[in-house]
Amino acid sequence: MARARLLTPTPAAAPAPGVGLEETILQVLANPRKFPPEFSRWVLSLIQNNPTLRIAAFQLPNPDVKHFVGSSADAPFLNGWVNFGSPWAPASYFKDLSGIVHLQGQVKGGTVGSAIFTFPPAYQPQYAHHFECDSNGSASSLTITAGGDVVPDASGGGSNIWFSLSGISFRI
């Protein structure tokens, strides 16, 4: 019978705050989409490829969950913006294990040139970023300010009929 192996801790490893190991693994198994893709793939591959491997809680990275704009626990929509609706993904963001913030979703109805939402401080970039994106089938742009405002640009065909946030990412 194979003996379970415990991964060797690194000197800088510290216990993950809050959630225990078993609970984190059960959450990933129950809903892998709740976690960043690379974290879910890592946990699932460890379980599939090493059935006798034991993991201590301090060895798990502390992943971020997806934050849905407009939900009661996350950043609110501003200036009349709302989710576009089915079949398009709702506006959301998360920070991956490398410190890169990813956005996705499609919004509509707000004031072009005014913030869709504002990132909480832990997600705000040090400097402003400018991105090319799609708006009602036309090329447009979006700015994320150093203060965390996500602002669609009115020039270049920007429209409040719909504005895509998908594919936007930046390192903080």
Question: Looking at the structure, do residues 100 and 119 belong to the same domain, yes or no?
Answer: yes
Integer Cα distance of 147 and 149 in angstroms: 6
Question: Looking at the structure, do residues 44 and 124 belong to the same domain, yes or no?
Answer: no
Question: Looking at the structure, do residues 102 and 128 belong to the same domain, yes or no?
Answer: yes
Q: Which of 127, 124, 126, 154 is nearest to 142 (CA)?
A: 154
Q: Which of 86, 87, 103, 110 is nearest to 162 (CA)?
A: 110
Q: Which of 101, 80, 52 is nearest to 152 (CA)?
A: 80
Res 53: pLDDT:
67
Question: Looking at the structure, do residues 115 and 145 belong to the same domain, yes or no?
Answer: yes
Res 24: pLDDT:
75
Question: Looking at the structure, do residues 18 and 80 belong to the same domain, yes or no?
Answer: no
| CB atoms inside a 10 Å sphere around CB 76 | 11
Question: Looking at the structure, do residues 98 and 161 belong to the same domain, yes or no?
Answer: yes
Question: Looking at the structure, do residues 46 and 75 belong to the same domain, yes or no?
Answer: no
Residues 6+ apart with CB under 8 A from 29: 43, 44, 47
Question: Looking at the structure, do residues 164 and 87 belong to the same domain, yes or no?
Answer: yes
Question: Looking at the structure, do residues 149 and 119 belong to the same domain, yes or no?
Answer: yes
CATH code of 167's domain: 2.60.40
Question: Looking at the structure, do residues 55 and 76 belong to the same domain, yes or no?
Answer: no
Six token digits for residue 151? 């602002």
User: Which residue range is the domain that position 85 belongs to?
Assistant: 67-171
Q: Residues for the chain: how many in total?
A: 172
Question: Looking at the structure, do residues 11 and 91 belong to the same domain, yes or no?
Answer: no
From first to last of its 172 residues, the chain has per-residue pLDDT tens of 444 444 433 333 333 455 666 777 777 777 777 777 877 788 778 777 776 766 666 666 667 889 999 998 899 999 999 999 999 999 999 998 788 999 999 999 999 999 999 999 999 999 999 999 888 888 889 999 999 999 998 776 778 899 999 999 999 8
Integer Cα distance of 28 and 25 in angstroms: 5
Question: Looking at the structure, do residues 15 and 94 belong to the same domain, yes or no?
Answer: no
- Among 34, 59, 84, the domain-final residue is 59
| Whether the Cβ atoms of residue 158 and residue 152 lie closer than 8 Å to each other | yes
> Phi/psi at 67 (nearest 5 deg)?
-110, 125
Number of domains, the chain: 2
Task: With 0.85 as the threshold, say if the pTM is over it.
Answer: no
Partners of residue 95 on adjacent β-strands:
101
Residue 153 corresponds to which amino acid? D
